[in-house]
Amino acid sequence: MKGLWLVGIAAATRMVPLPQLPPQTEDLEQWLHSHIHHTQANDGWAAYQRRVLDWCAPFWRPEIVSDYDVLLDRDLWEAWSHHPPRFGNFTFVLLPWHHIVELHGFRRHAPGLNYAPLRDAAALFSKLSPHYPHVVVLSQADRRQILVMERRAGGATAREAHTPGSLSVATPLSDALSKVAVRFTTRLESLARLSAGKRPDPHDVPLPLLFRASREVNASSQERIHRIFFRGSCTSKLRNRLARDVVATATLAVDVGRCGQGGKSKYPDYAENLRKSLFVLAPRGSYPATFMLGEAVQAGALAVYVYEAHMIRGKRLGGKRVKGGFRRAPAADETHLTHAAIEAQLPYANLGLRWGDVGAVATDDEIEALPARLAALAAADVRRRLRTTAWVRPLFTANGARLYVELVLSSLATAGARKPFYDDS
């Protein structure tokens, strides 16, 4: 096993203090509500926020979001677009980022890529006032991906330079996003930054990668099968190994399918397996985040987050090509993170949630030993983790994620801060 070590640069940035999770005797959703304090003032903020939301509204029209309209950001738009909450002067810029970036970019083909939503988003950001701190929720999208899209758009528009009405340069959306005060990110980019020897971005706050409320997995109190379960697509080299390397023990069964075979195509069956299983593997995909983390918690199972820094599938993500169709993740080096370093970047760590209390964390080097490690957990320890998982479940729902965003902004406004982290550099 390779040596694991903690990157020492992580402590260089301190987060503005947030309330810490209460004892499990308290109702978590009520606790969240009790720590959200709205700003009351009669000034120009309300008119400006309304104007920004009016600019956002055209991006939610059916021709942009009709496909795959199942993500958290839809519920946030419906909750905040008519009655946006106020915390200091933080102003919401609510866009369906996944649709703008992927469904009108990476996944579109003939007769060509449609970069219009990307350009329109850049135009929107160019109109934002510098006098207000802005907030975005990047649901299943990230700044690097947007940068790649912009470069592609630049190439496309260069060929169209002589076409009347076409643009000759790429839109500067990634630059605009780098200046946004608070970015709630769902792809755990901070883990990729740590693995590359960089510290987390002081504007980023992690959120779990979630579907909207209508697609949440119902929890189950039934007796669970003492097994490890996994189904998923082949979006990382790590996932390709699971069916081969995760082997049953004398006391712990294994139902780990080959990635890409079955997957979530029959979602009701997949959800039922989550509800029946004791342990659910939640390995990273093309990006460090995975929907399976939230889905497992929603189902009441113990989620085992498995992180691997380097090998990802997809030419669009860049990096040097290696065997098997995978590429080295952008800027990845030989840095290896401890469990504690990984846990510190997972959702809600800033509230005091330690993933080892909910499920477990592992790295790619530990896959073969993982079944024995989980089988060795004492029955009392397993029961404690199941209780904790059931208690934190509200945080892994669309409503809980919304309340968390409001709690963070409320805390920043109370502290007089314009971004989530103090910059100690």
Domains in the chain, number: 2
Q: Look at residue 111 in the predicted model and tell me its pLDDT.
A: 43
What's the confidence (pLDDT) of residue 192?
85
Contact 160, 119 (CB under 8 A): no
Residue 225 belongs to what domain range?
Answer: 217-396
Cβ partners under 8 Å of residue 381, min gap 6: none
Indicate whether 81 pLDDT > 80.
yes
CA distance 63 to 85: 28
Residue 244: pLDDT band by 50, 70, 90 thresholds? Answer: very high
Q: Is residue 41 domain-shared with residue 188, that is, in the same domain?
A: yes
Buried/exposed code over 229-262 (b: 16+ C-beta within 10 A; e: otherwise): bbbbebbbbbbbbbeeebeeeeebbbebebbeee
In the predicted model, what is the mean pLDDT of the chain? 85
**pTM, entire model:** 0.88
Do 178 and 89 reside in the same domain of the chain? yes
pLDDT of residue 343: 96
Query: Which has more confidence, 357 or 336?
Result: 357
Instruction: Indicate if the pLDDT at residue 17 is higher than 50.
Output: yes
CA-angle at 232, arms to 371 and 304, nearest 5°:
35
Burial class (CB in 10 A: 0-12, 13-18, 19+), 203: buried
100 inside domain: yes
Res. 154: pLDDT tops 80: no
DSSP for residue 99: I
What angle in degrees, to the nearest 10, is found between the helix axes of 116-126 and 143-159? Answer: 110
Is residue 1 assigned to a domain? no
Mean pLDDT lowest among 10-19, 26-35, 143-152 = 10-19
Are residues 54 and 97 located together in one domain of the fold?
A: yes
Top pLDDT among 151 and 323 is at 151
Which band of pLDDT confidence, cut at 50, 70 and 90, is reported for residue 313? very low
Question: Among 21-25, 219-223, 328-332, 346-350, where is mean pLDDT lowest?
Answer: 328-332
Rg (CA), the chain: 22
Rounded Cα–Cα distance for residues 302 and 78 (Å): 31
CATH assignment of the domain containing 334: 3.40.50
Q: What percentage of residues in the chain have a pLDDT greater than 90?
A: 63
Say if CB 242 and CB 273 are below 8 A apart.
Answer: no
> 237 and 102: one domain?
no
More confident residue, 395 or 171: 395
Q: Would you say residue 3 lies in a domain?
A: no
Mean pLDDT, residues 26-54 taken together: 97
Examine the domain organization and report whether 240 and 177 are in the same domain: no
Q: What is the pLDDT at residue 116?
A: 83
What is the per-residue pLDDT for 163? 42
* In a shared domain, residues 148 and 297: no
From first CA to last CA, the distance across the chain in angstroms is 34
- Identify which has the larger pLDDT, 123 or 151: 123
| Residue 166 confidence class, pLDDT cut points 50, 70, 90 | very low
Instruction: Please tell me the distance from the alpha carbon of residue 361 to that of residue 25, in angstroms, as a whole number.
Output: 26
Are residue 22 and residue 140 in the same domain, yes or no?
yes
Coil vs helix vs strand at 265: coil
pLDDT digits (tens, 9 = 90+) for 249-302: 999 999 999 888 766 768 899 999 999 999 999 999 888 999 999 999 999 999
